[in-house]
A and B are shown apart, each in its own frame.
Chain A
Amino acid sequence: MGASDAPIVEKAGAPARRRGRTRVGDAVFKGMTRIVAFGLVMLLVLMIGVLAADGVRPFREFGWRFLIGRNWNPVAGRQSFGALPFIYGTVVTSTIAIVLAVPVAVGLALLLNEVARGWLANIVAVLVDLLAAIPSVVFGLWGVFVLQPAMDRTIEPFLANTVGKVPLVGPLFRANVSGGFQGGDVFTAGVILAVMIVPIVTAVGREVVSTVPRDLREAALALGSTRFEMVRMAVLPYSRSGIVGASMLGLGRALGETIAVAMVVGNSLGIHVSLFNGGYTIPAVIANEFREASSEGLHKASLLALALILIAIALMFAALSRLLVRRSAALVSGGPAPPATELARLEGAA
């Protein structure tokens, strides 16, 4: 930087002073970025530390059985806490969201980059971005008053009558424990989460797809492939790692989403095979139960422990995504794709 600046500076007529100032500026900039970076890391460490200070109590009380315990009983004198229903609900709702959202988002990204061009692409892109701007509590309201009734009356009974009869996956789509389809459930929560994460996965997916080198596309077309074959043989393999990264960003959002999920997930402790039963997620239980100022000590500590578990789950998925990104990057001939490493870094920071 300084070297390339030099000739211009000399032209300006005050080389020494100018140069000195640049160096000071560089040093200040370097120092500031370091302080910010270090501060961020410290913040994470402090947060985990503060959570752990109280959050270890349930582990001390119940041992590792806290992780697999299915009770969550805050009644004085009967206190017993276990994290399993919340871990289950968090993982299942996020998984549903990813399974539903990623194909849609990848399709949208391809549509915007490969198929539609010009005004149509612009309109769709703006609409998808607008979706990202909707506050999650609005999604929650929409979920309670529009999506959930539609699910209860039409979609879930339909799924139970069709997919529910297929062996293997069928049991996932059966009537809930009370014998009907009424009430919030993990499936509805997963669908809302899917809608919420489509924009981010689409936006990142678009960037990824747009980095596929022109020669690769043209080579595929020159070999006589159709547009679909070009996408399948040239675009998708090259951007696979980036798409994995984009999905993981979406998963990160789904794991932490609180209010929209709390409004439709049912806030119920059960762990059932059918997705049409109510469930509970870690962010939802923390939001619902943390309010009363003087909760009994162990109850509060257990909520803090759940927060720790949520961080652990998120970090696990982040690590997993780095691994996936690296592996699929290695699979593409010609070494790691630039967007993949970029995303891996993003993931690591999140």
Chain B
Amino acid sequence: MGRKGKWAVVAALSAFAVVGAACSSNSDAASGGGGGNGGGSSPFEGVAMTGAGATFPDPVYEYWFKTFQSMEPGAKINYQAIGSGGGIEQLQQKTVDFGASDAPLQSTDITGFGSTTILQFPTVLGGVAVAYNLKDVSDPLKFDGSTVADIFLGKVKSWNDPAITSLNPSVTLPDKPIQVCHRADESGTTFVFTNWLSQESPEWQSKVGADKAVQWPVGNGGNGNDGVAACISQSDGAIGYVEYQYAVTTDLGVALIKGKNSSDFVAPSVESISAAAGGLTLPIQPTTNVLNSDAPGAYPISSTTYLLVPQDLTPLGRDKAQTLVDFLYWALTKGQSLVKALNYAPLPDAVAQADLKQLDQLEFDGSTLAPSASVTS
């Protein structure tokens, strides 16, 4: 009998739990809807919406969405950093309101969207730092693309190899084996880095190629930026690559990289990465790239990232469309000044202006949507 009683209690409790969960999700939905209904009155309040895609700008986007909510309190934007490919796929299936990608849309992606035209808005820039761990060497080392490629090909095996010493005549380099560290998981960082190596070294291009993950000729893999940083910091004589914003938070050595058409060696910084977008023009083409930019002072291993928005916003409904336009306007104006704090690089002014102009191409019911007063003032 006692047993039975216990079971009854368990059953009752679990029933409560289920009902409770159902209630709380209901109330969530209700409050989201409430925000939307309130959007009709004078200061536009924004509505909840979802986006998905690139992981690289995720910290910026999260920060933006949070701050943007203080402009439009109802605008709860839920962003899932599932990777650029996933973001494009979900936008094609219309399971999200907007997408995000680190690479510009390719022709196969564009056919995947069918009759829907997608506008791509560059939002923020980042760089890939070549980081190393070399005890007793305090001066920052200088590298050019072909030397880095040869190191990652396993052809340059020692720190005092002539290829490195000739670029760093003033530094005494030890006779230590080079331990290469790379990403073990798929990543946009790898995509940018291997694309740069492919541009700099024909041998890399033919033997390895460029993608989010490649078959590394040498070296050990780490999971995520932390994994690579751990791999580098645990081995004296190790070299690897990490996102710039990650490199500045570690005490690893960060290499200066030789610019595209100059003899200058450029350190990655918010300014030099911003400068890389100097030549960016809209609309974005499949081949658009800020890598190896020949703009003055540009850091060569830089990349940008895009928000993907359908040109015709009618299917979203007026409130969502207005929220999206407001958010984009805000991100490209006030939002830009916030990214430096996160060690991302803002767009150069000219590119931000071109972006804002592209905003006019967004349509709702055949006419453009002006950003609300809450973000323009």
Interface residues of A (CB under 8 A from B): 71-78, 144-145, 148-149, 152, 177-180, 182-184, 262-263, 266-269, 278, 280, 284, 287-289, 291-295
**CA–CA, A179 to B237, complex, Å?**
11
Shortest Cβ distance from residue B308 to the other chain A in the assembled complex, whole angstroms: 14
For residues 167 through 224 of chain B, which have their beta carbon under 8 Å from a beta carbon of chain A?
176-181, 184-186, 208-216, 218-223
Which residue of chain B lies nearest to A177 when distances are taken between CB atoms in the complex? B218
Minimal beta-carbon separation of B24 from chain A (angstroms)? 28
Residue ID in chain B nearest A73 by CB atoms: B215
The 3 closest A-B pairs by CB, nearest first: A267-B221, A293-B86, A182-B235
A75 near B220 with CB under 8 A, answer no
In the complex the two chains form, is A269's CB within 8 Å of B216's CB? yes
Classify the secondary structure of A's interface with B: loop
Task: Select one of A145, A182, A292 contacting B236, CB under 8 A.
Answer: A182
Least CB distance from A200 to B in Å reads: 26
Contact (Cβ within 8 A) A178 B211: no
**Which residues from A are CB-within-8-Å of B177?**
178-180, 182
Interface centre among B184, B210, B230 (most CB of A within 10 A): B184
Q: What are 5 A-B pairs with beta-carbon distances under 8 A?
A: A182-B236, A182-B238, A262-B184, A266-B220, A288-B184
- Flag if B238 contacts A289 (CB, 8 Å): no
Q: Which residues of B contact A291 (CB under 8 A)?
A: 83, 185-186
Cβ–Cβ < 8 Å partners of A280 in chain B: 221
How far, in whole Å, are A83 and B158 apart by their CA atoms in the complex?
31
Q: Does B15 contact A (CB under 8 A)?
A: no
| Partner among A145, A152, A268 whose Cβ is within 8 Å of the Cβ of B235 | A152
Interface of B is mostly: loop
Expressed in whole angstroms, the Cα–Cα distance for A292 and B220 within the complex equals 20
In the assembled complex, the Cα of A287 lies from the Cα of B213 at a distance in Å of 14
Closest residue to B210 on the A side, CB-wise?
A75
Q: Are A292 and B211 in contact (CB under 8 A)?
A: no
B: which residues have CB within 8 A of A? 82-83, 85-86, 88-89, 157-158, 176-181, 184-186, 208-216, 218-223, 227, 230-231, 234-238
Contact of A74 among B214, B219, B222, B235 (CB under 8 A): B214
How far apart sit A268 and B219, CA to CA, in the bound complex (Å)? 6
When the two chains form their complex, are residues A148 and B223 in contact, meaning their CB atoms are under 8 A apart? Answer: no
Q: Which chain B positions have C-beta within 8 A of A263?
A: 223, 227
A77 to B177: give the CA distance in the assembly, Å. Answer: 33
The answer to whether B178 touches A294, judged by C-beta atoms less than 8 angstroms apart, is: no
Residues in B with CB closer than 8 Å to A182 are: 177, 179, 235-238
A292–B215 touching, CB < 8 Å: no
Q: Which residues of A contact B181 (CB under 8 A)?
A: 183
| Among B176, B186, B221, contact of A292 (Cβ-Cβ < 8 Å) | B186
User: Would A267 and B218 count as touching, CB distance under 8 A?
Assistant: no
Q: Select B176's contact among A76, A78, A180, beta carbons within 8 Å.
A: A180
Distance, CA A288 to CA B61, complexed state (A): 25
Q: Which residues of A contact B234 (CB under 8 A)?
A: 144-145, 148-149, 152, 183
Which residues of B sit under 8 angstroms from A295, Cβ to Cβ?
Answer: 85, 186
The reply to whether B235 and A183 contact each other, CB–CB distance below 8 Å, is yes
Residues of chain B with a CB closer than 8 A to A184's CB: 220, 231
User: Shortest CB–CB separation between residue A29 and chain B, in angstroms?
Assistant: 14
Closest Cβ of chain A to B185, distance in Å, is 5
Bound together, the chains give a CA A287 to CA B83 distance in angstroms of 16
Partner of A75, one of B86, B208, B222, B230: B208
CA distance A182 to B238 in the complex (A): 8
Q: How far is the CA of A291 from the CA of B234 in the complex (A)?
A: 26
Which chain A positions have C-beta within 8 A of B186? 74, 289, 291-292, 295
Taking the closest CB of chain A, its distance from the CB of B56, in whole angstroms, is 13
Q: Cβ of A183: which chain B residues have Cβ within 8 Å of it?
A: 179, 181, 220, 231, 234-235, 238
Q: Could you say which residues of chain A place their CB within 8 Å of the CB of B218?
A: 177-178, 268
Residue from A149, A263, A291 having most chain B Cβ neighbours under 10 A: A291
Contact of B215 with A75 in the complex, beta carbons under 8 Å: yes
* Chain A residues, Cβ within 8 Å of B184: 262, 267, 284, 288-289
**A278 lies within 8 A of B83 (CB):** no
In the complex the two chains form, what is the Cα distance from A149 to B231 in whole Å? 11
Does the CB pair A293–B89 fall under 8 Å? yes
**Which residues does chain A contribute within 8 Å of B210, judged by CB atoms?**
75
Q: A182-B235, A293-B82 are in contact. Are A75 and B211 (CB under 8 A)?
A: yes
- Which one of B83, B86, B185, B215 contacts A288 once the chains associate, using CB atoms below 8 Å? B185
Q: Are B89 and A268 in contact (CB under 8 A)?
A: no
B176 neighbours in A (Cβ, 8 Å): 180
B185, A268: Cβ atoms closer than 8 Å = no
Partner of B89, one of A73, A180, A266, A294: A294
